[in-house]
């Protein structure tokens, strides 16, 4: 996982392959709980998806651009090759995340 701020989100999203941009807040309980699932996802996918974490308190400009507020955390946005594919809201189990991302993880990379 990579911790992102306003200065490096664009570079993270510009890279090839599946990328999961996760908005959260260190002081938010649901974001804290979701960290466990993200760690498990990272282990289960063996590097097939890059995960970038955005703490909205540390990246207020990026949060504002995406319309992310404390009221709708955590928010996950999946990209493949820089193109947004899916937006997921709320905490999900590792299995639930894998199900949501499966079609993007199983796509052969060119």
Domain boundaries, the chain: 2-105
CATH class as words, domain 2-105: alpha beta
Q: What is the pTM of this model?
A: 0.89
The model's pLDDT over 17-74, given as tens digits with 9 standing for 90+, comes to 999 999 999 888 888 888 889 999 999 998 899 999 999 999 999 999 999 999 989 9
From residue 19, alpha-carbon distances to 50, 53, 71 in Å are 5, 11, 24
The total of other beta-carbon atoms located within 10 Å of residue 12's CB is 16
């Amino acid at each position: 996982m990579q911790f992102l701020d306003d200065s490096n989100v664009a570079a993270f999203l510009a890279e090839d392959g599946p990328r999961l941009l996760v908005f959260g807040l260190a002081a938010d309980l649901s974001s804290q709980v979701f960290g466990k699932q993200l760690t498990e996802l990272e282990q289960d996918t063996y590097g097939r998806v890059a995960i970038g974490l955005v703490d909205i308190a540390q990246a207020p400009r990026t949060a504002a651009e995406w319309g992310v507020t404390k009221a709708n955390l955590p928010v996950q946005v999946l990209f493949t090759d820089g193109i947004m594919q899916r937006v997921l809201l709320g905490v999900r189990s590792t299995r639930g995340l894998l199900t949501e991302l499966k079609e993007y993880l199983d796509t052969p990379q060119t």
